[in-house]
Structure 1
């Protein structure tokens, strides 16, 4: 509960923005404020993986982007961190929502990465779901 003196500084739209965030997910901002780990992956493999990831995210519908963000963070309006993990056939990205982090497998192709991310966002998940 906020004291009234703080609430009167905002009109209803500003208060909604402060409490709920922005409804649009700007991929450029998301990318800019994302921390990535380069601990895995030979040479330029990490950079290529991250390029693929952001290309796929940019191509997602707004709804699918929101679902991906929610998968990673538990919220449709929070920054996310992405961490690379070794790829194994059929593996999907893993989320650590408490830490706003996705562990992203090192997919051998962009198409496999896109399939993995789309498989996640099209699952009907709520609360804590194991995949």
Structure 2
């Protein structure tokens, strides 16, 4: 069937990781707080019925043989003043690998920090 996006709209990734265990959660937070925090970067959070939309993801994977776990917190942003979704801003992220956390910060200028993370497939879910 092919992609729903034209080739020019696809993101180009440096690498693709397979065999990933992942969980993604969506939620909302205080819109005024995120508006103030994102203002310095000229970003506007998406207005989700008076709340800011958040995306929390956690994965367990291997990159070039290095096992790691990662958790990220992103805020959905708008490119039209808050009315429509325009993308996501990576607010904070954690990686269990010192090397990969450093590489993310040094090469991609992302807010990654080293952390001890665990992943389980048992209830209750926890990160």
TM-score (norm 1): 0.21
Structure with the bigger RCO (C-alpha within 8 Å, sep 6+) is: 1
Considering fraction of residues, name the structure with more helix: 1
TM-score (norm 2): 0.21
Considering fraction of residues, name the structure with more strand: 2
